[in-house]
Chains A and B, each alone.
Chain A
């Protein structure tokens, strides 16, 4: 499977390979540059594994100053730079290219400051998402955005992709929880945006940096908000006879003015896969399952759950499973959280990430099923239903190039369906290379040109992660 293109490597850069490696070795402390081909292989892709490119070298700096030095050097010689966190991007955002220096933040993994009175944590960009919550949990706090990959993915990558998670329905995604960054601009200048104050002055540069997929600069430190943990949290599980009913139930819960912390959806294939893997006690005779989680005091949870269950009954819910204990709650979530891993055990899959208006959920689920059937593939749907963020997992056999091509084609059709239903190509995984060539389906030429112009204000020569996000043809001349 090789359909998505990369920019052709710059011959001049490739020709100077050894010289560049030598210069970078001078700029960095020992053990901070990977340049042997064999050792470069682990960096050739991310979680979008169908595409691979071995980079020219990988710099693993330990300080902001070292990031700045490498960046300045690469800028001077027009060498492409691909920032990398943990490489868990599902969109190919962290896949390098042959003429690129990867700047990996894995060595910058220290928590610098935890300030409970102001409820902030300042961390280096290579700190994992979960490490923040782990560090503050004993004191009763957490960091809200919780991608399923939170054990591995870094806060720098979360900022790169503006990542979300199951609990974002109530607490928002990365951009809503980010207060400040220290970042290195393309020419090596170090700037700080925001800080411990709740808002920053002037144009919202922090807002544009978040979700910019490593194209505007390299984040080396971040200040994020901490939130006091709720008194309690309790999920309820619903089984429905049809996806339509489940979808309509979601819309009615939200429409009734109830905002749970999470509403997760699984269809029959997803239920079966997760149940086989996690033994979560999911019903095997329903077409769709919802996990709705509420939080607060006991009274509050009782009240909300009562109202939610009543709405579900109006939609003919077949199975209602209220969790009676922390163990049961954990089990309900275990099934959902292992969805990707469990799917990976039975087949290769690509994970779509389109978002649609809630009212369009049933329509898009139907359309997805049709597309999948037409291509003779299988799909498992498991996603954040409360905010319309769909994750169809398209199952295929990676050893069969035709099957893989069909899966990619079906994925593209599903994403177009999402856009046509008033939604967007990606809700939380980012564009990367995966959705790059679909951008024109969502945006008109002028829209994209405006985005690219802003990008160029940060990186006039397009050396930061240049093969990503924007279609390769029709770019402004550097």
Chain B
């Protein structure tokens, strides 16, 4: 039976970690458990952030917030919406896709470096993280970064903590930057483009000075899964515009005119826009209650559709694209075909694939994260050793880091 440790303070966390080191008993770091596929924590004891909860400081005028790592994302978003502010990187909620429960926490958001459709204008979670407090594998309480937007004082350990999936240290507190919620948002929809045409249309849109803040392509096979089937036409290529109302309508006109040469163009109102981009963010098309393998693939934007076309010739896949085509959500009919997927990624200029979903057995048998070559893996191992000399979090490298 694994024990769940639920410390109330950094000091208590430190004691738990030191005791675990003394007993050579590995720990699994857990936030809200939304990415936990099995309840048992792989037999390891669990170090949970559940009781490290609460907003420590919120200063709307400075657009920064400090919160304890276990604070539910819902609490954060509720506080932010009162001041019409938001996390600009649109953290995805994986629960529907993975069929998991749990409550997303702010620590988990940063530990997984979650980022959504606004990625190419607002960055990923790592770009919003200003400072962090953590307890390392020796039980030391460390702070990195701070609470100001610009900070180059020393090595940027906050970047390392973002996306470290519980493999380096236990985050106790995060400070992050915020952005104002745009006054309005709408979506320009171009219908019936094939994947290659869509890639060209999105590249054109991104080259214009209209500040597209979301560019996705939903091929015909998935289109019906979005907005309850209300998207017009066959395939839908969708472009989001956000900002002040007057400006958004001027930009929409300009964008619509330019996109008309690609195909029939329509628009979605703010309510549909909000829903659509949330569904794209959360990979709604593949939240199908199955365990069919789903890959998250990041490549150069123009390579996304080429990758899918190449894979289609060899195996059964379904896919849609975010980030102008550079983020491919790929569902396999049966086998994850890791070797095949990665071979084509390499052939098309590089990138990486992470297996986000599959049955437990398939997960265990698959290299879920992208192998990075000897020199980088050696460097990663040395860095981990500097945070966690006893290897108390090492098990997370195999399990936690898979997503």
Contact = CB atoms under 8 A, between A and B. Distances in A.
Contacts of B62: 251, 254-255, 357-359
B243 interface: yes
Contact of A197 (B127, B164, B167, B300): B300
A22 interface: no
Nearest to B247: A300
B124 A199 contact: yes
A444 B153 contact: no
Q: Which of B63, B156, B372 has the most CB of A within 10 A?
A: B156
A225 to B, nearest CB: 8
Nearest to A141: B207
B120 interface: yes
Interface in A406-443: 422-431, 435, 439, 442-443
A78 interface: no
A423 B149 CA distance: 9
Contact of B61 (A251, A430, A448): A251
A451 B149 contact: no
Contact of A357 (B148, B351, B379): B148
A297 B62 CA distance: 27
B157 A208 contact: yes
A450 B142 contact: yes
B305 to A, nearest CB: 12
A200 interface: yes
A258 B159 CA distance: 27
A303 interface: yes
B148 A423 contact: yes
A470 B155 CA distance: 10
Interface string B118-153: 011001101100000000100011111011111111
A443 B302 CA distance: 44
A126 interface: no
B106 interface: no
A90 B185 CA distance: 42
B229 interface: no
Chain B interface, DSSP helix/strand/loop, else mixed: mixed
A175 B66 CA distance: 22
Contact of A255 (B60, B115, B149): B60
A9 interface: no
Given A195-B300, A202-B370, A457 B383 contact: yes
A453 interface: yes
Given A197-B351, A203-B380, A356-B148, A172 B123 contact: yes
Contact of B180 (A200, A257, A299, A424): A257
A173 interface: yes
B120 A198 contact: yes
Nearest to A232: B209
B301 A117 contact: yes
Interface in B208-228: 208-209, 211
A172 B61 contact: no
A120 B119 CA distance: 15
Interface in B54-73: 59-64
Interface string A210-244: 11100100000000010011110000000000000
B246 interface: yes
A388 B153 CA distance: 15
Interface string A95-120: 00000000000000000000111111
Contacts of B383: 203, 454, 457
Nearest to A438: B153
A469 B154 contact: yes
A250 to B, nearest CB: 10
B113 interface: yes
Size class of the contact patch on chain B = 35 or more
A341 interface: no
Nearest to B115: A199
Contacts of A215: 155
Contacts of B64: 357
A99 B165 CA distance: 41
Contact of B386 (A164, A206, A422, A456): A456
B165 to A, nearest CB: 9
Interface stretch (A58-66, A185-193, A319-327): A185-193
A387 B149 contact: yes
Contact of A427 (B152, B160, B180, B386): B152
Nearest to B386: A453
Nearest to B154: A451
Given A387-B148, A446-B142, A431 B127 contact: no
B374 to A, nearest CB: 9
B369 A457 contact: no
Q: Which of A175, A203, A387, A389 has the most CB of B within 10 A?
A: A203
B159 A458 contact: no
A447 B148 contact: no
A331 to B, nearest CB: 24
B348 to A, nearest CB: 10
B289 interface: no
Contacts of B369: 201-202
A469 B152 CA distance: 11
Nearest to B401: A202
11 contacts: A172-B123, A196-B349, A201-B369, A208-B159, A296-B209, A300-B250, A426-B151, A431-B154, A446-B140, A447-B142, A451-B144
Interface of A: 115-120, 140-141, 161-162, 164, 168, 172-173, 175-176, 185, 189, 191, 193, 195-208, 210-212, 215, 225, 228-231, 251-252, 254-255, 257-259, 296-297, 299-300, 303-304, 355-359, 384, 387-389, 422-431, 435, 439, 442-444, 446-451, 453-458, 469-470
